[in-house]
Structure 1
Amino acid sequence: MHYDESHHKSLSDIHESVDVNQGKSKFKKILSFFGPAYLISVGYMDPGNWATDLAGGSQFGYTLIWVLLMSNIMALVLQNLCARLGIVRGKDLAQCNRETYPKRMNFVLYVLAEIAIAACDLAEVLGMAIGLNLLFGIDLLWGVMISFADTFLLLYLQKLGMRKMELFIIGLIALIGMCFMVEMFLAKPDFAEVATGFIPSIPNSAALYIAIGIIGATVMPHNLYLHSALVQTRKIDRNEVSIRKSLKYNFWDSAIALNLAFLVNAAILILAASVFHKNGMHDVAELEDAYHLLGNLLGTEWASKLFAVALILAGQSSTVTGTLAGQIVMEGYLRLRISPTLRRIITRLLAIIPAVLVILISGEGRVGQLLIFSQVILSMQLAFAVIPLIHFVSDKVKMGIFAIKPITKIAAWLIAAIIAVLNFKLVYDEVAGWIGEANNILVTVLLILGAVGLFALLMMTVLYPILLKSKPTELEVHPPFEALHFEHKGSFKKVVIALDFSNSDQKVIQYALQLSHDDTTFVVVHIVESASVKYTGDSTDDYESRQDLERLKLYADFLLSQGHQTEYELGYNNRIKSIAEVCEKYGADLLVVGSHGHSGVKDFVFGETVNKLRHAVKVPVFIAQ
């Protein structure tokens, strides 16, 4: 059995960061597998699900609880397939897509995945903004802007480590669950009636529409990418026994986490059924309506406040996973790695901008429709993640003995078919409504062309791996290796030495001499940053400049005594720009600088040179530590 391993690491900063074997009791070893599915589960209880749960409960009472259970079973099957892919092949879903499908098709799949992540983030932004509005009276526009403040939360959590990030998410899920436990206590539902909701039935076409919405809002496409990467944070032995053990424990991790998500969604539906449906209020689907009615009908303002708190927590917990999913699809599809901070800002802006525009142009009354729109967008993307996933875990060449069995394959394709049909039905209804509202031939043509294009892409997604007989090219994370050719051997001809007149200067000079040859020419440079220079922005003959020049001559004399031709020059005011100009002026082959020995806040206070300098010069930079 050959286990396919790639040099590329999904979520490289936390890849195999949790060792499940080292120095632990048996119970702790088992427990160390648990965690990834909890980050996944928050996507199943995000604010985008709440509207469909509220609508189902208020209109049809407990009748549609079985739909929630069915969608949860579907989610459990699909998430376990993702875990299997990540554990066995050591690659995430985006990476497997990239090595299987054509380049242009992969780019379209990447764009669709990014749209899905932005749509999910939009639901979280709106949910958090609505929660802040209901709880504190903050305008929705300001609530949306405040949601940008959590942009750096994930970065902080990642610094703490994978396990602490998982504990943070589990804590939020526990708080959401506690909020709804209190709501259940206040609502006092009839659990005998609740049990009847597990008997499958669809009363009418309106119930069918809501059932489609519940299924469409449950399984999230970005969660499929995310789970296949998160399971790789566990460091396991690459043998059959260890892989089987990992698959088993990850199954239980998913089962527990997704059942918790099911209980939260069921609690929302039961709450709507026992409070709104029983009081004859059959059209409650807006989060704001639910908030205001809960307090009145249950006779305590705590019912409303707990609902709003849970809404904020749901939005906040879901936002952590969006950036991780974005990192996965960008690195997997495009082989492009950007700063996590920039990644988070881009993702959040893609969600905030449409929310702000809708509020400014159409008013706060259209926010509910924007929330529904985000779920429709998610529904459109789902099949494009599910179908490749089933292809990959069915591949006996790549998965070996861990390829899924025929019965699992049949169940998976049945789920994919149900999801594709129901989601396309939901999308068709929404698009038909948009066409009717627009009453514009150009809009109609564009929407129809878009639908035809998506259907064609779906067919390619299904058929391409089946029809492709030739062996797919292996995923190349970096450009192909080429033989190394050097024109000549030799040392650096001209070396610029940047001195800051600190304790590090001795090491800078020492390393410069070690890197030199007999015919190496040195250029020593120091940047004057006196008050006069700061004011004039140019060279000046103040006391500090004269002292710096005298000291620079002493260094130059020492290098001359070592048999090296040496020149010296002062730069002024801007360290980065001045050193770069000296390197260019003298045609330097190498720049040697000292490490300033501080980071973080001190970089902000005292200024940071080395990292910026590396990007400003066109020659190698040697940093003397």
Structure 2
Amino acid sequence: MVTNDLTIASPLQTARARGRVRGRLILLGPAFVAAVAYVDPGNFATNSTAGARYGYLLVWVVVAANLAAMLVQTLTAKLGLATGRSLPELCREHLPRPVNRVMWVQAELVAMATDLAEVIGGAVALYLLFGIPLLAGGLIVGAAAFAVLALRARGFRAFEIAIAVLLGVIVLAFAVNLLSARPDVSAAAGGLLPRMQGTDSMMLAAGILGATVMPHVIYVHSALTPNRIPAADETERRIVAKGLRTDVLLALSAAGAVNLAMLLVAASTFHGSGIPGTDTLEGVHAGLAGSLGAVAALGFAVALLLSGLASTSVGTYAGEVIMQGFLRRRVPLVVRRLVTLVPALLVLAVGVDPTRALVLSQVVLSFGIPFALIPVVAFTRRRDLMGSLVNRPATTAVASVITALVVALNLFLLWQLVA
């Protein structure tokens, strides 16, 4: 834009003028906030259980789920950039009122199931590290999330950087454990062939899917990208969109590597070993200590704690996005935190097996995926909403196939549970 012969730099031009590296880094961040939810304690439970019970059988599920997540989060980020609104806001504007209310109710249930996994996982980690009782640990994790959320008051970059650092430590911990476990490369490659072994493996596959393609971060990611780096024109808009794709590729690759490492470590260390209890988080921790040493067990517990802390902060933020978008209402952060925290504390108080609760929470999450996926695909294919960032026909086709497969899997699981 030119005024009185003086060129006023756009926000993107200002960011890129700081240097080539800093200019690119400014476009990264939202996907890392989303990615930490892809390595939440639910992933620890489902991936470790899958590896311990079935060895390398479900490697293909982890890989396929992560590829699907990359596409989903790319569409989600693009949706926020193109429309300037979050997915819940778009649902409120374009869907009938009764449908919007149903969407809100299921989204709240998804947020509760998410917090269930995150708080329980963090509580288990505190028990493993310090012997703190589970209920007290759950309260500590719930309260500690406020410290991470408080960083948002200092701007979006502080919050994003904190989450990215926590994700980096989790990646490092599992990289060390993977090197110690030395999985069978040929057997892991064989696990890329899609196959199942009965209904139990199907349940675990749905749990892995629910723990990987997370409904609540679809809502969160769409709220992080609007107006983050305002584009002055169509050229800048495409540059920002390219940066968001890179953001998703880097963040989800890191998350996918962690998920795969979880399964490979459990498969190579526990499957067929006769070590008892390796389908529980406590058993995995004890098994790692006995098989790979104290450092591996410590890395597992620390990663689990950081995962619970980071992902529960993102989950609370998701609750804000959900209520503000679907209902256009805000509630105090303390109230929002308590609404999703209470179910997790009740589970811990009554003594439900933590790992079992985690796996079941991921199955619940998998049923919430279609409610987020279908609107994302429907909105991103509309040129009147997306403009030049509208999906290509092939992109819409692939996303539609993924959505159809997820819905079909959920219907099958529902039938199996009822039968």
Q: TM-score, normalised by structure 2?
A: 0.92
Return the match for 1:347 from 336, 339, 343. 336
For the 8 Å contact 1:379–1:424, the answer to whether it is kept is no
Alignment of 1:20 onto 2:26:
no
Q: Tell me how far apart the structure 1 counterparts of residues 295 and 414 of structure 2 sit (CA, whole Å).
A: 37
For the 8 Å contact 2:219–2:322, the answer to whether it is kept is yes
- Specify the structure having the higher radius of gyration (Cα): 1
| Structure 1 match to 2:265 | 271
1:232 Cα deviation (Å)?
A: 2.1
Letter in 2 for 1:199: L
RMSD, matched Cα: 2.0
| Structure 2 match to 1:76 | 70
1:115 Cα deviation (Å)?
A: 1.5
| Structure 1 match to 2:318 | 325
SS class of match (2:57): coil
| Structure 1 match to 2:7 | none
Deviations 1:289-340 (A, max 9, x none): 1111111122x222222111110011011122112212212111111133xx
Task: Trace 1:113-192 onto structure 2 (pairs within 5 A).
Answer: 113-192=107-186
1:351 Cα deviation (Å)?
A: 3.5
Task: Trace 1:389-428 onto structure 2 (pairs within 5 A).
Answer: 389-428=376-415
Mark the CA change 1:229 to 1:19 in structure 2 (over 3 Å): closer, same or farther: farther
Mark the CA change 1:115 to 1:206 in structure 2 (over 3 Å): closer, same or farther: closer
Deviations 1:100-125 (A, max 9, x none): 11122212211211221121111110
Q: Tell me how far apart the structure 2 counterparts of residues 141 and 367 of structure 1 sit (CA, whole Å).
A: 11
Letter in 2 for 1:357: L
For the 8 Å contact 2:319–2:336, the answer to whether it is kept is yes
Q: Tell me how far apart the structure 2 counterparts of residues 194 and 376 of structure 1 sit (CA, whole Å).
A: 25
1:195 Cα deviation (Å)?
A: 2.8
For the 8 Å contact 1:68–1:265, the answer to whether it is kept is yes
**Equivalences, count:** 408
Q: Tell me how far apart the structure 2 counterparts of residues 218 and 39 of structure 1 sit (CA, whole Å).
A: 14
Letter in 2 for 1:314: S
| Structure 1 match to 2:4 | none
Sequence identity percentage? 38
Unaligned ranges ≥5, structure 1? 1-17, 434-625
Return the match for 1:383 from 367, 370, 374. 370
Return the match for 1:366 from 335, 342, 353. 353
Q: Tell me how far apart the structure 1 counterparts of residues 94 and 45 of structure 2 sit (CA, whole Å).
A: 37
| Structure 2 match to 1:581 | none
For the 8 Å contact 1:43–1:318, the answer to whether it is kept is yes
For the 8 Å contact 2:149–2:159, the answer to whether it is kept is no
Letter in 2 for 1:30: R
| Structure 2 match to 1:304 | 297
Letter in 2 for 1:66: W
Return the match for 2:205 from 206, 211, 219. 211
1:207 Cα deviation (Å)?
A: 3.1
Q: Tell me how far apart the structure 2 counterparts of residues 354 and 57 of structure 1 sit (CA, whole Å).
A: 28
Unaligned ranges ≥5, structure 2? 1-9
Letter in 1 for 2:216: H
Q: Tell me how far apart the structure 1 counterparts of residues 209 and 256 of structure 2 sit (CA, whole Å).
A: 12
1:201 Cα deviation (Å)?
A: 3.3
Q: Which has the higher helix share?
A: 2
Q: Tell me how far apart the structure 2 counterparts of residues 366 and 26 of structure 1 sit (CA, whole Å).
A: 50
Mark the CA change 1:281 to 1:326 in structure 2 (over 3 Å): closer, same or farther: same
Mark the CA change 1:394 to 1:381 in structure 2 (over 3 Å): closer, same or farther: same
Letter in 2 for 1:116: V
Letter in 2 for 1:336: R
1:238 Cα deviation (Å)?
A: 4.2
Alignment of 1:61 onto 2:50:
no
Letter in 2 for 1:227: H
Mark the CA change 1:154 to 1:295 in structure 2 (over 3 Å): closer, same or farther: closer
Letter in 2 for 1:228: S
Q: TM-score, normalised by structure 1?
A: 0.62
For the 8 Å contact 1:54–1:272, the answer to whether it is kept is yes
Letter in 1 for 2:173: C
For the 8 Å contact 1:21–1:236, the answer to whether it is kept is no
| Structure 1 match to 2:3 | none
SS class of match (1:257): helix
Q: Tell me how far apart the structure 2 counterparts of residues 148 and 27 of structure 1 sit (CA, whole Å).
A: 36
Letter in 2 for 1:327: E
Q: Tell me how far apart the structure 2 counterparts of residues 156 and 246 of structure 1 sit (CA, whole Å).
A: 27
Q: Which has the higher strand share?
A: 1
Q: Tell me how far apart the structure 2 counterparts of residues 204 and 379 of structure 1 sit (CA, whole Å).
A: 19
Q: Tell me how far apart the structure 2 counterparts of residues 429 and 140 of structure 1 sit (CA, whole Å).
A: 32
